[in-house]
Amino acid sequence: LPSLLSPSASCLSIASLTPEKFFLSKRGFPCSPLNHFLKPSPSEPQASGLPEYIKIVEVGPRDGLQNEKVIVPTDTKIELINQLSKTGLPAIEVTSFVSSKWVPQMADHKEVMRGIERHPGVQYPVLTPNLQGFHSAIAAGATEVSVFGAASESFSKMNINCSIEESIERFEEVIKSARNMNIPVRGYVSCALGCPYEGNVVPDKVAEVSKRLYSMGCYEISLGDTIGVGTPGSMKKMLEAVMKEIPLSALAVHCHDTYGQALANILTAIQMGVAVVDSSVAGLGGCPYAKGATGNVATEDVIYMLNGLGINTGVNLCAVMEAGNFICTALNKKTNSKVAQASFRTGTTN
Amino acid sequence: MNWFGFCPLCNTANRVFPELLAGLPEPQASGLPEYIKIVEVGPRDGLQNEKVIVPTDTKIELINQLSKTGLPAIEVTSFVSSKWVPQMADHKEVMRGIERHPGVQYPVLTPNLQGFHSAIAAGATEVSVFGAASESFSKMNINCSIEESIERFEEVIKSARNMNIPVRGYVSCALGCPYEGNVVPDKVAEVSKRLYSMGCYEISLGDTIGVGTPGSMKKMLEAVMKEIPLSALAVHCHDTYGQALANILTAIQMGVAVVDSSVAGLGGCPYAKGATGNVATEDVIYMLNGLGINTGVNLCAVMEAGNFICTALNKKTNSKVAQASFRTGTTN
């Protein structure tokens, strides 16, 4: 039988239910009846007030790999992004134009940016923490950029060595230049549900920073639960405050699964009408603040939930699992996606 | 300044987030239950699905530790033949050996009359029976049809009622079956209604293979709630596909106020090799604390019990809260 890790294995080829137990298909992919559950549900979300369509922003190649210890070769990064480009994902965060002194994993940002295939209909945003990074990104062919603010002064100082106000002034330069060139800018707000140094973060502060970024010209604000401490309770309160200042259509949530709360928090957000969700293939990217803990929520697990709610994402779950399998093999690590773990027969018993 | 302050009691990094670990002092979010009863199934459902056979003393110690956490109900063991479930072979010794804390229920599984009598003789004061919402699962799992299994349980329930012993009913495959795939919500409602009308005081609806999502959970509960009062419903979610907390949130948004979980997320899934099974008690409590919902349970104490059993099993915890809180995790 061909290797279970063969990139040609496709679980979508197993379309019909079989009453047998777990037999391997001719191609070697486990074709249990459970694969039936990997397909989108035909139910109607509109009845329950949920968005009809949710845009998934794939942050694995940047936020994910940035927080992985193993330095990934440029070719591997490019291959990962190319595989993700074929899954139907509408946006894939490619890299970060930041000094390689600070983030060695992203040292090859120019090569990656220039090396990837650009699929029509897919956005390829990159991080640009300052004007220098922005110009470098544009020179390398970037057509969308992102900037990062924080809702906590301590986090801002510890993370990027300046106050929130100073960081916003820095981003203002980037946003102005971007607008002049018709380059869309996405704004991230870190520590939206808690800070590793300050603890609780006041929802109004999150709203204030979000409003600044939005009014400066960011088309979308991604609210990040940076250390994953948020719960449906705090997510609701924070969104209520932010929604007073920013239109719903401009909001995204970026949940970390460090405390296992990500899907519940995402569900809460979409129940309130948020229609953009960030996630990371295979749940790449641990938490730098809690050793051994997980970080980003896994794209596969998010899509599984949205499929079950009958919400359209345009993304092929099996294809994402394949990309996840590829990068986990390259990183020599187990996936952090439970859907992938349950679907591939490669997991070791825990 | 460092987030990793250590609580001398439980070694958790809670210096900055004591309110998250202890529970918020404010009223619960709108429309949710004020109090949720957690039924701890780790010592039975959890250990039953772990490969390593755990010594009797360890099981007793685990249950004794759990008894001190505030958990209102702890599923102790299963009075089933040791041929089928070797892990539960010491059911009598465990039942007799545990400390019985006032205010804590100690239900045990009794799949038939023989098991029931054995359980009573060993001191059990509450029992549970298991039905399934899928014929295939019933046949493959306990070698008989749903109807036959219900007749078997009827004997148990009758005897239990005669002795004023409360009986809890489980319905497996409530959101999907490893053999049949989709399960029709009305079938779940039908089986639940049978168990309830026979005398079970509570029906725990189990997503046995963890395939459920908020979408299917909602549909299933809508069907079941037509037949069974909300106060008699519980959800038993597996986290095999990472959906458990989202599914539990959906259930409690619909008013369900009893949630089953397993300390440290003990118990893998026998139907998906290498995958996880039960949802971790710690992660459930963390979420409920964040919603301001009272559970009466001390999260740190549960994490300690989880740490104890994981050390004994020589395995990593499946609880993300515990993983993030203890400094013992290896980087992944």
Render pLDDT for B53-73 as a digit per residue (tens, 0 to 9): 999 999 999 999 999 999 999
Distance from CA of B44 to the nearest CA of A (A): 18
- In this predicted structure, the answer to whether residue B14 has a pLDDT above a threshold of 50 is no
pLDDT band (50, 70, 90) for residue B4: very low
pLDDT band (50, 70, 90) for residue A37: confident
Averaged over A100-120, what is the pLDDT?
94
Identity of residue A42: P
Contacts of A294 in chain B (CB under 8 A): 320, 323, 332
pLDDT of residue A69: 85
Give CATH superfamily name and number for B33-325: Aldolase class I (3.20.20.70)
With CB atoms and an 8 Å threshold, state whether B176 touches A333.
no
pLDDT of residue A186: 98
- In this predicted structure, the answer to whether residue A31 has a pLDDT above a threshold of 50 is no
pLDDT band (50, 70, 90) for residue B20: low
Distance from CA of B323 to the nearest CA of A (A): 6
| Cα nearest neighbour of B253 on chain A | A268
Which of B102-134 are b and which e, b meaning 16 or more Cβ less than 10 Å from the residue's Cβ? eebbbbbbbbbbebbebbbebebebbbbbbbbb
Q: How far apart are CA A258 and CA A22, in angstroms?
A: 32
Identity of residue B222: E
Contact in structure between B130 and B109 (CB atoms under 8 Å): yes
With CB atoms and an 8 Å threshold, state whether A349 touches B274.
yes
With CB atoms and an 8 Å threshold, state whether A231 touches B287.
yes
With CB atoms and an 8 Å threshold, state whether B287 touches A268.
no
With CB atoms and an 8 Å threshold, state whether B243 touches A301.
yes
Averaged over A255-261, what is the pLDDT?
96
Model confidence pLDDT, tens digit, residues B291-325: 999 999 999 999 999 999 999 999 999 999 999 98
Q: Between residues B85 and B244, which one has the greater pLDDT?
A: B244
Contact in structure between B325 and B46 (CB atoms under 8 Å): no
Which residues lie below 8 Å from residue A149, measured CB to CB, with a gap of 6+? A156, A164, A167, A168, A171, A187, A188, A189, A190, A209, A212, A213
pLDDT band (50, 70, 90) for residue A27: very low
How many Å is the Cα radius of gyration of chain B?
19
The CA-based diameter of chain B, rounded to the nearest angstrom, is: 63
Model confidence pLDDT, tens digit, residues A131-185: 999 999 999 999 999 999 999 999 999 888 899 999 999 999 999 999 999 999 9
With CB atoms and an 8 Å threshold, state whether A231 touches B318.
no
pLDDT of residue B18: 59
pLDDT of residue A161: 87
DSSP bridge pairs for B56: none
Model confidence pLDDT, tens digit, residues A48-97: 789 999 999 999 999 999 988 889 999 999 999 999 999 999 999 999 99
pLDDT band (50, 70, 90) for residue B269: confident
- Fold for domain A49-343? TIM Barrel (3.20.20)
- In this predicted structure, the answer to whether residue B9 has a pLDDT above a threshold of 70 is no
Which residues lie below 8 Å from residue B16, measured CB to CB, with a gap of 6+? A196, A197, A198, A199, B3, B5
pLDDT of residue B219: 97
Which of B266, B291, B288 shows the shortest CA–CA distance to B279? Answer: B266
pLDDT, chain A, mean: 87
- In this predicted structure, the answer to whether residue B258 has a pLDDT above a threshold of 80 is yes
Phi and psi based region of residue B286 (left: phi greater than 0; alpha: psi -120 to 50; beta: remaining) = alpha
Distance from CA of B152 to the nearest CA of A (A): 26
Percent of chain A that is helix, strand, coil (3-state, to 5): 40, 15, 45
- Give me the active site residues of B, please: 269
- Grouping H, G, I as helix, E, B as strand and the rest as coil, residue A160 is helix
Which of B215, B225, B35, B241 shows the shortest CA–CA distance to A271? Answer: B215
Please report, to the nearest 10 degrees, the dihedral formed by the alpha carbons of residues A274, A280, A283, A288 taken in order: -90
Contact in structure between B321 and B284 (CB atoms under 8 Å): no
Count CB atoms within 10 A of the CB of residue A81.
27
Phi and psi based region of residue B164 (left: phi greater than 0; alpha: psi -120 to 50; beta: remaining) = left
Averaged over B179-199, what is the pLDDT?
96
B158 CB-contact burial (10 Å; exposed 0-12 / middle 13-18 / buried 19+): middle
Q: What percent of chain A has pLDDT over 70?
A: 86
Q: How far apart are CA A180 and CA A178, in angstroms?
A: 5
pLDDT of residue A29: 35
Model confidence pLDDT, tens digit, residues B210-221: 999 999 999 999
Distance from CA of B6 to the nearest CA of A (A): 13
Between chain A and chain B, the number of residue pairs with CB atoms below 8 A apart is: 200
Which of A22-55 are b and which e, b meaning 16 or more Cβ less than 10 Å from the residue's Cβ? eeebebbbbbbbbbbbbebbebebeeeebbeebb
Mutate which of B30, B245, B283, B284 to disrupt the A interface (most A C-beta within 10 Å)? B245
Pairing status of strand B108-109 against strand B127-132:
parallel
Model confidence pLDDT, tens digit, residues B155-165: 999 999 999 99
pLDDT of residue A45: 57
Q: How far apart are CA A125 and CA A287, in angstroms?
A: 22
Which residues lie below 8 Å from residue B132, measured CB to CB, with a gap of 6+? B138, B141, B142, B146, B149, B171, B172, B173, B191
With CB atoms and an 8 Å threshold, state whether B51 touches A349.
yes
Model confidence pLDDT, tens digit, residues B108-157: 999 999 999 999 999 999 999 999 999 999 998 888 999 999 999 999 99
- In this predicted structure, the answer to whether residue A285 has a pLDDT above a threshold of 80 is yes
In this structure, what token pair is assigned to residue A235?
């997510």
- In this predicted structure, the answer to whether residue A47 has a pLDDT above a threshold of 70 is no
Q: Where are the domains of chain B?
A: 33-325
pLDDT of residue A192: 97
- In this predicted structure, the answer to whether residue B8 has a pLDDT above a threshold of 80 is no
pLDDT of residue A64: 94
Contacts of A260 in chain B (CB under 8 A): 245, 280, 283, 286-287, 319-321
pLDDT of residue A10: 33
Picking from B180, B275, B321, the nearest residue to A260 by CB comes out as: B321
Picking from B210, B239, B332, the nearest residue to A334 by CB comes out as: B332
Identity of residue B147: E
Which residues lie below 8 Å from residue B98, measured CB to CB, with a gap of 6+? B60, B63, B64, B67, B76, B106
Picking from B177, B213, B331, the nearest residue to A292 by CB comes out as: B331
- In this predicted structure, the answer to whether residue A44 has a pLDDT above a threshold of 60 is no
Picking from B214, B283, B329, the nearest residue to A260 by CB comes out as: B283
pLDDT of residue A70: 87
pLDDT of residue A40: 73
3-state secondary structure B202-239: EEEEEECCCCCCHHHHHHHHHHHCCCCCHHHEEEEEEC
pLDDT of residue A49: 84
pLDDT band (50, 70, 90) for residue B3: very low
pLDDT of residue B276: 81
With CB atoms and an 8 Å threshold, state whether A36 touches B182.
yes
pLDDT of residue B21: 64
Q: Would you say the pTM of this structure is higher than 0.80?
A: yes
Q: What percent of chain B has pLDDT over 70?
A: 89
pLDDT of residue A160: 84
pLDDT band (50, 70, 90) for residue B231: very high
Side-chain-facing half-sphere of B264: CA atoms under 13 Å = 27
Q: Between residues B20 and A103, which one has the greater pLDDT?
A: A103
Mutate which of B289, B315, B320 to disrupt the A interface (most A C-beta within 10 Å)? B320
With CB atoms and an 8 Å threshold, state whether B246 touches A264.
yes
Distance from CA of B136 to the nearest CA of A (A): 9
A235 CB-contact burial (10 Å; exposed 0-12 / middle 13-18 / buried 19+): buried
Count CB atoms within 10 A of the CB of residue B164.
7
Q: What percent of chain A has pLDDT over 90?
A: 77
Distance from CA of A180 to the nearest CA of B (A): 41
What are the backbone dihedrals phi and psi of residue A187, each rounded to the nearest 5 degrees, phi first? -110, 135
Picking from A196, A338, A349, the nearest residue to B241 by CB comes out as: A338
Q: DSSP label at B53?
A: P
With CB atoms and an 8 Å threshold, state whether A260 touches B280.
yes
pLDDT of residue A77: 98
Contacts of B14 in chain A (CB under 8 A): none
pLDDT of residue B29: 58
pLDDT of residue B307: 97
Averaged over A244-262, what is the pLDDT?
97
Helix and strand element counts for chain A (H, E): 12, 8
- In this predicted structure, the answer to whether residue A349 has a pLDDT above a threshold of 80 is no
Averaged over A111-123, what is the pLDDT?
97
pLDDT band (50, 70, 90) for residue B22: low
Picking from A198, A310, A350, the nearest residue to B268 by CB comes out as: A350
Q: Between residues B154 and A287, which one has the greater pLDDT?
A: B154
- In this predicted structure, the answer to whether residue A22 has a pLDDT above a threshold of 70 is no
pLDDT band (50, 70, 90) for residue A43: low
In this structure, what token pair is assigned to residue B115?
């098991």
Mutate which of A24, A29, A34, A306 to disrupt the B interface (most B C-beta within 10 Å)? A34
| Cα nearest neighbour of A70 on chain B | B332
